[in-house]
Amino acid sequence: MEKPRIRALRQAQLYGHLVARTGRIYYPGGSHPVCSVQTALELVRAGWLVRHGDRYEITPEGLRVLSDSPDRPDEAQPARSHPFGP
């Protein structure tokens, strides 16, 4: 799955909902967009978000997708070594 979709789902889970403003989707009180309205509508069509006016809330199916995601933040990423030394 693409990272903007996972990021949007994670933000919706963390803040409880996302907010549509000026053609973009933000977390409540945020000034940096999480994703585009088009991406949010794709998530609604997939059943991972539900739209209530200008609010987008995560669904139980969206939570399941997050729990199955290989990009889970609690999994440590291996440190990369520099090719020319430490």
DSSP bridge partners of 55: 19, 52
The residue written with tokens 């989707």 in the block is 25
pTM: 0.76
What domain range is 64 assigned to?
3-68
Q: What is the pLDDT of residue 69?
A: 80
Reduce the DSSP state of residue 50 to 3 states and report it.
Answer: strand
Q: Tell me whether residue 77 is in a domain.
A: no
Taking the C-alpha atoms of residue 17 and residue 27, their distance in angstroms, rounded to an integer, is 7
Q: CA dihedral defined by 2, 34, 38, 47, rounded to 10 degrees? A: 70
Q: Tell me whether residue 23 is in a domain.
A: yes
Q: How many percent of the chain have pLDDT more than 70? A: 79
**How many domains are there within the chain?**
1
Helix 60-68 vs helix 3-15: angle between axes, to the nearest 10 degrees? 120
The residue written with tokens 């291996």 in the block is 78
pLDDT digits (tens, 9 = 90+) for 42-66: 999 999 999 999 999 999 999 999 9
Pick 74 or 83 by higher pLDDT: 83
